């Protein structure tokens, strides 16, 4: 019997169905969890142990350590998480990925779970048609679960057995005769498979099936499992290529963590496998060394013990890991270096609900950037040194370029997320963020125009009167009050932001009232002192610009509160 092209397509299709089921189940869980998942992510910033637990829960939910670590790289790149915090989350993600092996070992091989797949689809179908979001998400979870195990069952059925196809995977059996070198060969095979499939879960599924059918033994299956831990770091490193130095450090820390674990495990490899074999025999499970059907359980134990032990050993050395990666990847100290969003083109979009959380944080960072840009304007007014004045102008110009680029990137990212399956709450947040992003970009444009006006004033050697300076700084103070409330509203709940709307309206009215008062005073001053016409022109332009920023701030406050978002 030969293994033809059609058989290969069947095998590939079975693996694809397995991955699609996992993706569907993951998206359903994300939608069902909603704000609770975002609350879990908020716990990342507490301490290393909370980070470890967060990484474990997150990876258990999304069933992908690659997706979790890409998300962590994204957070670090955006300045939302420190390198120390990110390492704890990555450690937890490595432990969380072991749940896939247990799911397959306990249910995929021991129970005829595929027989339940069709009834589960029958349950999921009316739930998917239900208009209530929670029921719809629950139906998606059931559907994903059914497809996952249908794919696993098809995978088992499409894999050729060695009795009728001895030529199949003969090269794997040939690789087992090189003693200790065989361990390294299978470790490399596990790494390669994970890089190609971009999923340690898929590699684990293939490994368990191969072991269950006796293609490879317990020892070599364990070596492939170790290789998966290296291969899964590749995704995070690819995501970090377009990130800043902090993102690259996070990806490197992930690789260092896994490599250190694999090094010490290789020294204890046979010792560990022997103890697992003894443990399973002692509790009447059967020996994975002699019974191929016991290998999946043995590998699940090995995978769990390895990742759990490695995390518990190295969690106390996070500080030294940070020092090491900072030494290997020193900061270039760029004056204008700022986290950017190009990493969004990586695998992060696989987690649409979590992407909404990330985008919300990024939009607030974007607003903070505009606030910093606005605070350069007072410096331009009081600066007398020509060189320093020019430096500030250059910084404003650089910030203008950044705000324009970031606005495009955020908008593009939000559009991409909107094409995914999202909860109604997440879709609503996307609409708000698109409006907020547009308003922040307007603030950046106004600030740039204000800096250009001040540059022209400097060139014409026009000076503000003491009274004009005093009024300008009073207006800047009012606008800064608006910025502070706006930034606060962007990180609190929608209800709290809505409760703050009266205060936001009050600040905007004070800005408008001060502008009207100043306009009348400017006309009177020009009538008394004709020599102040030019300074009054620039003064009035700056005051009007501040009023425009006040309008944009109010629009942002209303958007985050869920008002006037159309």
Q: What percentage of the chain reaches a pLDDT higher than 70?
A: 74
The 10s digit of each residue's pLDDT in 83-98 is 777 788 888 888 887 8
Q: How confident is the model at residue 515 (pLDDT cuts 50, 70, 90)?
A: confident
Q: Is 87 within 8 Å of 322 (Cβ atoms)? A: yes
User: Could you tell me the maximum CA-CA distance found in the chain, to the nearest angstrom?
Assistant: 105
Mean pLDDT of all residues in 1-19: 72
Question: Would you state the CATH architecture of domain 351-560?
Answer: Up-down Bundle (1.20)
Q: What percentage of the chain reaches a pLDDT higher than 90?
A: 9
Query: In terms of Cα–Cα distance, which of 194, 151, 190 is closest to 172?
Result: 190
Which residue in the block uniquely carries the two structure tokens 């022109």? 537
Q: Which residues contact 238 (CB under 8 A, 6 or more apart)?
A: 346
DSSP 161: P
Alpha carbons 345 and 348: distance in angstroms, whole number: 7
The 10s digit of each residue's pLDDT in 185-242 is 888 888 887 777 666 777 777 787 777 777 778 888 888 888 888 887 776 676 666 5
Mean pLDDT of all residues in 300-305: 89
The 10s digit of each residue's pLDDT in 149-197 is 777 677 666 665 544 554 555 556 666 666 677 788 888 888 887 777 6
Residues of the chain within CATH 1.20.58.220 domain(s) are 351-560
Encode 357-405 in three state secondary structure: HHHHHHHHHHHHHHHHHHCHHHHHHHCCCHHHHHHHHHHHHHHHHHHHH
Residue 337 CB neighbours (<10 A): 12
Highest mean pLDDT among 43-52, 220-229, 332-341: 220-229
Helices 424-459 and 352-374 sit at what angle, rounded to 10 degrees?
20
Mean pLDDT of all residues in 427-440: 84
Alpha carbons 75 and 85: distance in angstroms, whole number: 10
Q: Which residues contact 240 (CB under 8 A, 6 or more apart)?
A: 73, 77, 247, 248, 250, 251, 252, 343
The 10s digit of each residue's pLDDT in 525-558 is 655 555 557 778 888 888 899 999 999 999 999 9
Torsion of CA 384, 386, 392, 395, to 10 degrees: 180
pLDDT at 482: 92
More confident residue, 413 or 219: 219
pLDDT at 344: 45
pLDDT at 138: 83
Alpha carbons 101 and 121: distance in angstroms, whole number: 23
Alpha carbons 86 and 79: distance in angstroms, whole number: 11
pLDDT at 334: 46
pLDDT at 352: 58
Alpha carbons 504 and 209: distance in angstroms, whole number: 61
Q: Is 518 within 8 Å of 544 (Cβ atoms)? A: no
The 10s digit of each residue's pLDDT in 468-492 is 888 889 999 999 999 999 999 888 8
Alpha carbons 67 and 352: distance in angstroms, whole number: 11
Mean pLDDT of all residues in 387-411: 83
């Amino acid at each position: 019997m030969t293994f033809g092209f059609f058989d290969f397509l069947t095998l590939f299709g079975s693996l694809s169905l397995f991955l699609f089921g996992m993706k569907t189940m993951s998206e359903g869980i994300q939608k069902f969890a909603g704000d609770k998942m975002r609350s879990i992510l908020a716990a990342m910033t507490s301490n290393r142990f909370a980070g470890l637990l967060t990484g474990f829960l997150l990876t258990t939910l999304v069933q992908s350590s690659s997706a979790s670590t890409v998300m962590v790289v994204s957070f670090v790149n955006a300045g939302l998480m420190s390198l120390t915090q990110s390492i704890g989350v990555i450690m937890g993600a490595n432990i969380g990925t072991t749940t896939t092996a247990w799911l397959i070992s306990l249910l995929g091989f021991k129970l005829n779970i595929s027989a339940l797949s069709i009834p589960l689809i029958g349950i999921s179908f009316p739930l998917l048609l239900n208009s209530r979001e929670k029921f719809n998400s629950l139906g998606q979870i059931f559907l994903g679960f059914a497809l996952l195990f249908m794919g696993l069952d098809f995978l088992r059925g499409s894999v050729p057995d060695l009795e009728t196809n001895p030529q199949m995977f003969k090269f794997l059996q040939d690789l087992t005769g090189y003693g200790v070198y065989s361990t390294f060969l299978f470790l490399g095979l596990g790494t390669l498979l994970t890089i190609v499939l971009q999923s340690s879960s898929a590699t684990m599924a293939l490994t368990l099936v191969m072991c269950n059918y006796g293609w490879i033994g317990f020892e070599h299956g364990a070596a492939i499992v170790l290789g998966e831990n290296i291969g899964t770091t590749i995704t995070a490193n690819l995501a970090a290529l377009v990130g800043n130095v902090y993102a690259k450090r996070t990806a490197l820390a992930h690789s260092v963590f896994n490599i250190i674990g694999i090094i010490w495990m290789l020294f204890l490899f046979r010792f560990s496998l022997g103890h697992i074999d003894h443990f399973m025999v002692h509790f009447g499970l059967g020996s994975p060394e002699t019974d191929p059907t016991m290998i999946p359980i043995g590998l699940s134990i090995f995978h769990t013990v390895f990742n759990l032990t490695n995390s518990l050993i190295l969690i106390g050395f996070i500080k030294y890991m940070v020092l090491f990666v900072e030494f290997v990847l020193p900061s270039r100290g760029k004056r204008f270096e700022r986290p950017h969003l190009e990493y969004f083109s990586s695998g992060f979009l696989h987690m649409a609900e979590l992407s909404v959380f990330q985008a919300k944080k990024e939009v607030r960072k974007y607003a903070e950037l505009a606030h910093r840009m606005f605070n350069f304007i007072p410096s331009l007014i009081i600066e007398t040194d020509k060189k320093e004045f020019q430096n500030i102008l250059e910084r404003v110009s650089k910030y203008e370029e950044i705000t324009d680029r970031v606005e495009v990137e955020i908008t593009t990212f939000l559009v991409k997320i909107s094409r995914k399956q999202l909860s109604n709450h997440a879709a609503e947040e996307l609409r708000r963020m698109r409006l907020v992003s547009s308003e922040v970009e307007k603030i950046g444009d106004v600030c740039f125009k204000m800096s250009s006006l001040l540059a022209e004033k400097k060139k014409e050697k026009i000076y503000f009167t003491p009274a004009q300076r005093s009024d300008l700084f009073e207006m800047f103070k009012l606008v800064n009050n608006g910025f502070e409330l706006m930034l606060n509203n962007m990180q609190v709940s929608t209800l709290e932001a809505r409760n703050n709307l009266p205060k936001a309206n009050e600040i905007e009215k004070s800005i408008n009232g001060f502008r009207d008062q100043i306009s009348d005073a400017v006309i009177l001053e020009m009538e008394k002192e004709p020599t102040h016409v030019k300074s009054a022109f620039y003064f009035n332009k700056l005051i009007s610009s501040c009023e425009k920023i006040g309008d944009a701030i109010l629009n942002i406050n209303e958007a985050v509160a869920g008002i006037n978002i159309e």
